[in-house]
Structure 1
Amino acid sequence: MEKVVIPAEAVQIISTSSKGDQSKWHVNNRWIKKNTLGYEGQAEVLASLILSCSTIKEYVAYSPCEILLPNGDTAIGCYSYDFRGKLQEVTLERLFEANFTTTDAILNHTALSTAEKFEQLMQQVEVFTGLDVRTEVARLLAFDALILNEDRHTNNILFLYDPTRKSWRLAPIFDNGLSFLSDEKDYPLGKPLSILKRKVKAKPFNSNFSKQLALYRGPAFINKAKLLQLLETTVIDFGRAKQVLLSQLNDPSFAHLFYEGSDCDD
């Protein structure tokens, strides 16, 4: 496993998720994230491995690492390269706030169905940015259902703004650490996956993954044969995360996400 040294002058950044805080550092154009709740780093790496066997081009690749801290301690985590460049990042929530509103009025509206919440939010995004990202966001939610990502809140859907061209685009898929039951406190090791998987709640349009999965009606986008091949040949120890993924791959409700083929798309 690659070793990543955190310089003494590096500033520790506390990233807040729906599950608590995680330590990370920005060093030499790389984001280094330390495991806090369990095996978030392995979950990140496994999620990007799946995406490498998909038709999705815009995603962040994560690599496992051992983190050497300035005080001499070591920790396990992962790293990725900074994808922002000179573009400004604006979360979905901040996009609404910048336009003097919030997502709450839609997401907390009990009379709206999941599909209606999704459509109303996407309509507003199109008004604010000029982007129609219905297919991309619905596909993201389908991917989240597959990996059991419980942290896709409105600050984990990101847009990038180019102030020079005054243009918007959807950011690559990133921050998938709270997936595959990686929080070992909430999902203790040794307990049956069938029981633990039922405890996981989705975000942001519905707490039920199936309801969000149903939003995606596009073409299959994951090469299952290649994914299974990589899972067999990789030297990375994914621990329980691999067991969770294999369990999900056997679930017929995800069959429409996979296409036939032997190679990942270039």
Structure 2
Amino acid sequence: MAVRLVTGNRIAETSSKGNQEKWLEHDRWYKLDLFGYEGLAETVTSQLLQQSNIEELGFRYVTYCMERMNVHQRIRNGCSSPNFLMPGESILTLADLFRKGVGPDWQSVVARQPNLAGKVRWMVEQTIRLTELKQFGNYLTLLFEVDMLFGNEDRHLNNIAVLRRGEEFDYCPIFDFGAGLLSNVRDYPMDIEPRSHMKLLRAQPLNTTFTRQVRAVRSLYGPQLQWTFMVAEVTAALEEPLKFYAERDRAYIADRIKTCIHWQAAKL
């Protein structure tokens, strides 16, 4: 569960992965790398999603770009993204939506569901009841498929959200890909073969394998995500972001990312 600690105009977001500083300036959000190359993961993922059917399905995603920033008297890598909120809009996470609309014991209600598909169905039905977003099952399926494709294991219920405008709701652009592509070199060191790491990944919010999570949601709402990029497009997307990182690490990072996408795409 995320906790926001505000000091001045900076926010330190606490999640299952740790504290990552971010702040809003000139209508853009800036985030610092925390455990590895999160900025690169955000940037490459959003570039590759340009070659997908997300917009054809009627949904959106956040675009990220690499940044080098002078923070705390140090030069740091990270990324930035546009502030997608329109005047009068706010983000309401599913964790807050369920807390307000179902009650403080909503997690125990989810836990009583008989299986993974039952948990997914409950989350979707409650979201539709509270927001009237009738295609939320398709949206959630798409989100889980994107996370599986890029190995993003930090999709807790504070990273799934809807947009609120007064008493009306809309679908939130898909955001926060930084925990994907084996970016956390603390948990997944670069001196270990990438396929060994891939076997350890766990999907959120159901805390299971990506395959089981996607299978559960697809059993209810069918497949959603399609993409056209291949190895050449992944290589091209990596070219500029890799320049932000030490030259000695670039080949290792590129290999990890290509292995991750190839491995996950084959299973997806």
TM-score, normalised on structure 1?
Answer: 0.83
Partner of 1:263: none
Equivalent position of 1:236 in the other structure: 240
Shift of 1:128: 0.5
Q: CA RMSD in A?
A: 2.2
Instruction: Tell me the residue number matched to 1:85.
Output: 86
Alpha carbons 1:107, 1:205 under 8 Å: kept? no
Pair 33,187 (structure 1): closer, same or farther in 2 beyond 3 Å: same
| Paired AA for residue 236 in structure 1 | E
Report the Cα distance in structure 2 between the residues aligned to 1:48 and 1:29, rounded to whole angstroms.
19
Q: 1:45 to 1:107 in 2, by over 3 A?
A: farther
- For 2:111, the equivalent position in structure 1 comes to 108
User: Quick one: distance in 2 between partners of 1:122 and 1:53?
Assistant: 27
Aligned to 2:171: 170
- Number of matched pairs: 242
Pairs within 5 Å for 1:128-139: 128-132=130-134, 133-139=136-142
User: Where does 1:115-130 land on structure 2 (aligned, <5 Å)?
Assistant: 115-130=117-132
**SS where residue 68 of structure 1 aligns?**
strand
Partner of 1:218: 223
Alignment partners' CA distance in 2, 1:105 and 1:187: 32
Shift of 1:48: 0.5
What is the identity percentage for the equivalent residue pairs of Structure 1 and Structure 2? 28
Amino acid aligned to 1:250: H
- Equivalent runs, 1:1-266 vs 2, <5 Å: 11-57=9-55, 58-69=60-71, 71-86=72-87, 87-102=89-104, 103-109=106-112, 112-132=114-134, 133-163=136-166, 166-214=167-215, 215-216=217-218, 217-225=222-230, 228-234=231-237, 235-238=239-242, 239=250, 240-251=252-263, 254=265
| Change beyond 3 A, Cα 1:41–1:130 | same
Is the 1:99–1:128 Cα contact (8 Å) retained in structure 2? yes
1:205 shift after superposition:
2.0
Residue deviations 1:198-253, cap 9 Å, x none?
1111111242111112123224521134xx343233432444554334224434x7
Say whether the 8 Å CA contact 1:48–1:61 is kept in structure 2. Answer: yes
Q: Contact conserved, 1:66 with 1:74, CA < 8 A, in 2?
A: yes
| Cα distance change, pair 106–176 in 1 and its aligned pair in 2 (3 A) | farther
Distance apart, 1:150 and its partner CA: 1.2
Q: TM-score, normalised by structure 2?
A: 0.83
